[in-house]
Structure 1
Amino acid sequence: MSRPQIQAFFDADTNTVSYIVTDPASRHCAIIDPVLNYAAQSGHTRYDGAQRIVDAVRDQQLTVDWLLETHVHADHLSAAPWIQQQLGGKLAIGEHIRTVQDTFGRIFNAGSEFARDGRQFDHLFRDGETYTVGNMEARAIHTPGHTPACMSHVIRDAVFVGDTLFMPDYGTARCDFPGGDARTLYRSIQKLLALPDATRMFLCHDYLPEGREELVWETTVAEQRKHNIHVHEGTSEDTFVSMREARDATLDMPRLILPSVQVNMRAGHLPPAEDNGVRYLKIPLNTLGAISSRVTTDEER
C-alpha cells in the first residue's frame, strides 16, 4: 500500500501546522486543522493561510473528502468553513465536542440559539471509528486530556495528534483548560505510543524550544517513546500528573483563547450578526485562568 502524501502549511503567528493528506492513487485528500488569520488588535479576519491550502488543492487537482479538526483549538480560529465553501468535503470533529460546547456555551452565555449537540459539524467521530480518504482507510482515536474532544487520526502509516503531543524536546499539551485532565492525557498518550514504532507522527504546533533553531513538526512513535521529555518510556502516570499539574499552574491562558474557542465551538463559523449587521466576539471577565504579568502566546509555553 502506498503511503499518504503529506503537505504541511505553517502559520507563523500562531505556530500552527495545517496539513493536506492525499491518497496518491485516487487524488482524494483530507485537510487537517486549517487556520483563519485573525488580528486581535483590530478584530479583522483574513484568509491568507487558507488560500494557500485552497491553491495547493486546486493546483494538484485534488478532491477533498474531509476537513478534520483534531479539537476545539484555543490558539487559532478555524478556516474550515471557508475552505469547505471553496472545495467541498465533510467538516468533522470528535463526538465529545458536545461537552466542549456545553461548557463554553455557558462561559460565553451563548444563549439558546447556540446548539450544543454538534450539529454545526457534518460528522462527529466515535472512538475507534474507521473512515476513508480516497482509497486509504483511516481511524479516529479519542485522545482527551488537553480537551475532552481531542481526536487523533491514523491514516495508514501516519498519525495526526493535534496538541496531545509536541516534539520530543518540547513535551506534551497543557491540561488546565475547562474539561482538561492530566491523568486522562497520560492514558491517551499511551494509546498513541502503542502504535507501531515507525508510524510517522505529525503535530499541530512547534514552538522552537531553547537550543533548537529549526521548526519541526514530524517525528515517529519510536522517537516519542524514547525521548519525549515529559512522557518517555518508564515515566509513571503519577510522575507525569505531578509534573503536568505543577507546570500548568505556572501558565497563563493563550493569547487567542477567547476569540478562538467561541468561533471553533461553532465549527469555525463566526457568531451570528446582530441587528446592526455586525458580528461580535465576547470577552468574559475574570472567568478563565489567573491574571498574570506575562503574555502567553501559545498553548504550552
Structure 2
Amino acid sequence: MQVHSFLHSDTETYTHVLADIQQNVCAVIDPVLDFDAKSGRTGTTGIDEVIDFVQSQDWQLVYIIETHAHADHLSGAIHLKETLGGQLVMGRYITDVQKIFKQIYNLDTRFRTDASQFDILTDAGDTLALGDITITAMHVPGHTPADMAYVATDDEKTVVFVGDTIFAPDVGTARCDFPGGDAKTLYQSIKKLLALADDTVMYLCHDYPSKGRRHCPTTTVAAQKQNNIHVKDGINEAEFVQMRERRDATLAMPRLIIPSVQVNIDAGHLPEPETNGTRYLKVPINVFGQ
C-alpha cells in the first residue's frame, strides 16, 4: 500500500491517492476543482497534477471517493473521471443532504435526490476491493449526515481517510452548524475513529496549521487521543458539545460554500448551460450564516 497526498493550497484541501503498487490500481480521495469566486472561473491545475502523477505511475484509477459533500471546495471528480475513468463513490446518506439543499437552492425537478449521480453508494461496514487492499466504509456523521471515513487495510498496515470529521491535533474537529450537522453525533463518530489502533495513520482532508507549523497530511490515532485540542482523552461528550456549539456560533461561513454544495451534491457536475450557452450557479440570499 502506498498513499500520496497533494495539497490544494487555495482551499488547504488534501487529495490522496491510495495505490496497490503490485497490481497497479489506485483510488483518489477528495479531488478538488479550482474555482475563483471573484470571476466565477473554474480550472483544473490542481487536479491535473494528480492526474499526471497517476498516469506517470501507469496505474488504473478504480475509485474516486468523496468522503462527503464538501462545503469549502468544488469537487474535481467529473474531470478526473472523464480523464482517467473510475467509479464515483459516496456515502448513501448523501440523499439526506441532497433533499436538504434541494430546498435551500430551490432546485427544479431535474435535480435527483436519490444519489443516482454516483456510481457506488456505501453504508457502514461496506467494503471495496482495490487490488489486495480492502477499503471499509465507516459512517461518521455530525459534520454532515453523509460523512464517511474509509479504512484501508492490507497485509502490512491500516490507514484511515477521515474527511472533515477530525483535523490535526492543534486544529481540532469539524464544525457542526451546517444543515443536518450535530455536535453530539460528531463526538460519537470521532470516538469510532479513535477506537482504531493507536498506530493507525489518519489522512486528513484539510490542514489549517497553527503559526510556525507547515501543512501536514497525516496524524495518528495516538496523537489525536493525546493532543487533540477538542477531543483528547479526558474530554467528555458534554464538554465537547458545549465547546463545539459555542465555537460554531462564532465562525463565518466557508468562502466557497454557496458554489461548492450546489455542485457537490450533484456529484461535481456543473449546472447545465442555459439557452445562451452559459452555466449559472444560484445564490440564496439571507439563508447561510447569521
Q: TM-score, normalised by structure 2?
A: 0.97
After TM superposition, list the pairs within 5 Å mapping 1:159-174 onto structure 2.
Answer: 159-174=160-175
Per-residue CA deviations over 1:70-127 (Å, capped at 9, x if unaligned) read 0000000001111001111100110000000000011001111000000000011011
Per-residue CA deviations over 1:38-78 (Å, capped at 9, x if unaligned) read 01011110000111111001100001110000000000000
Preserved contact between residue 170 and residue 209 of structure 2 (Cα < 8 Å): no
Q: Which residue of 1 aligns with 2:215?
A: 215
Q: CA RMSD in A?
A: 0.7
User: Quick one: distance in 2 between partners of 1:251 and 1:153?
Assistant: 28
Percent identical pairs in the alignment equals 51
Q: Which residue of 1 aligns with 2:245?
A: 245
Q: Following TM superposition, by how much is the alpha carbon of 1:30 offset from its aligned partner in structure 2, in angstroms? A: 0.4
User: Quick one: distance in 1 between partners of 2:69 and 2:233?
Assistant: 29
Preserved contact between residue 175 and residue 244 of structure 2 (Cα < 8 Å): yes
One-letter amino acid of the structure 1 residue matched with residue 284 of structure 2? P
User: Quick one: distance in 2 between partners of 1:88 and 1:82?
Assistant: 9
Q: Following TM superposition, by how much is the alpha carbon of 1:226 offset from its aligned partner in structure 2, in angstroms? A: 1.1
User: Quick one: distance in 2 between partners of 1:283 and 1:264?
Assistant: 15
Q: Following TM superposition, by how much is the alpha carbon of 1:213 offset from its aligned partner in structure 2, in angstroms? A: 2.6
Q: Which residue of 1 aligns with 2:110?
A: 113
The answer for unaligned runs of 5 or more in structure 1 is 291-301
User: Quick one: distance in 2 between partners of 1:161 and 1:78?
Assistant: 17
Q: Which residue of 2 aligns with 1:177?
A: 178
User: Quick one: distance in 1 between partners of 2:27 and 2:130?
Assistant: 6
- Secondary structure of the residue that 2:135 maps to in structure 1? strand
Q: Following TM superposition, by how much is the alpha carbon of 1:216 offset from its aligned partner in structure 2, in angstroms? A: 1.2
Q: Which residue of 1 aligns with 2:29?
A: 32
- Secondary structure of the residue that 1:192 maps to in structure 2? helix
Preserved contact between residue 65 and residue 134 of structure 1 (Cα < 8 Å): no
Q: Which residue of 2 aligns with 1:42?
A: 39
Q: Which residue of 2 aligns with 1:274?
A: 274
- Secondary structure of the residue that 2:52 maps to in structure 1? helix
- Secondary structure of the residue that 1:55 maps to in structure 2? helix
User: Quick one: distance in 1 between partners of 2:47 and 2:251?
Assistant: 30
Preserved contact between residue 149 and residue 160 of structure 2 (Cα < 8 Å): yes
After TM superposition, list the pairs within 5 Å mapping 1:23-102 onto structure 2.
Answer: 23-102=20-99
Q: Following TM superposition, by how much is the alpha carbon of 1:209 offset from its aligned partner in structure 2, in angstroms? A: 1.7
User: Quick one: distance in 1 between partners of 2:213 and 2:145?
Assistant: 33
Aligned residues: 286
- Secondary structure of the residue that 2:202 maps to in structure 1? strand
> Does 1:233 pair with 2:233?
yes
After TM superposition, list the pairs within 5 Å mapping 1:134-173 onto structure 2.
Answer: 134-156=131-153, 157-173=158-174
Preserved contact between residue 136 and residue 150 of structure 2 (Cα < 8 Å): yes
The answer for unaligned runs of 5 or more in structure 2 is none
One-letter amino acid of the structure 2 residue matched with residue 203 of structure 1? L
User: Quick one: distance in 2 between partners of 1:142 and 1:57?
Assistant: 28
